[in-house]
Amino acid sequence: MIRLLPMTSEEFEPFLERSVKNYAQQKAEAGNWTKEEALENSKRDFQRLLPERENSIDNRLFTIWSDEIPVGSIWIAKIAEDTGYIYDIYIEPEQQGKGFGKQAMLEIETVARDLGFSKIDLHVFGHNQKARNLYETLEYEVTNVIMSKKL
């Protein structure tokens, strides 16, 4: 069983560092950004989305706890009156495969309902099959597909 607890300022620093690097890597791997521009673009996006860090308006950042151990994080934001957007979910590598990601996704649904959302959106990179499989088992539906071919 897991609990989602609001992220503290101490927890925010490692979250931000990891998330900025991971997002930059994912965008470069997907071909959206070059490796040279990815890190700066990622930093800029995070600054825009979280100008007040863990206290940014319309954003809820949580640390995922199992017993007394932090096992990951999840971030949901209000993007429309009735819609939440999961910007990030992360499970520590040594904690993966234990069901914590699925449990966190189910818990964030409760948070979303409490915030008045009737829908949750998220983005998943096409190459992230593990995440896609998780979201599909939780009944997320594909709403858009962007395809690309390198020439």
Q: What structural domains does the chain harbor?
A: 2-137 (3.40.630.30)
- The predicted pLDDT at position 148 comes to 75
Whether the Cβ atoms of residue 84 and residue 120 lie closer than 8 Å to each other = yes
Amino acid symbol at 147:
M
CA quadruple 65, 96, 92, 109: dihedral, nearest 10: -50
- The predicted pLDDT at position 54 comes to 97
Q: Which residues 6+ apart lie within 8 Å of 19 measured at CB?
A: 46, 75, 88, 90
- The predicted pLDDT at position 101 comes to 95
* DSSP assignment of 67-101: TTEEEEEEEEEEEETTEEEEEEEEE-GGGTTSSHH
- The predicted pLDDT at position 151 comes to 84
Low-confidence ranges of the chain (pLDDT < 70): none
CA distance 120 to 137: 15
- The predicted pLDDT at position 127 comes to 81
- The predicted pLDDT at position 59 comes to 98
Kindly state the DSSP code that residue 55 receives in the 8-state scheme: G
**For the segment 12-25, what is each residue's pLDDT rounded down to a tens digit?**
999 999 999 999 99
- The predicted pLDDT at position 94 comes to 97
3 pairs with which residues across the strands? 65
CA distance 82 to 18: 29
- The predicted pLDDT at position 104 comes to 98
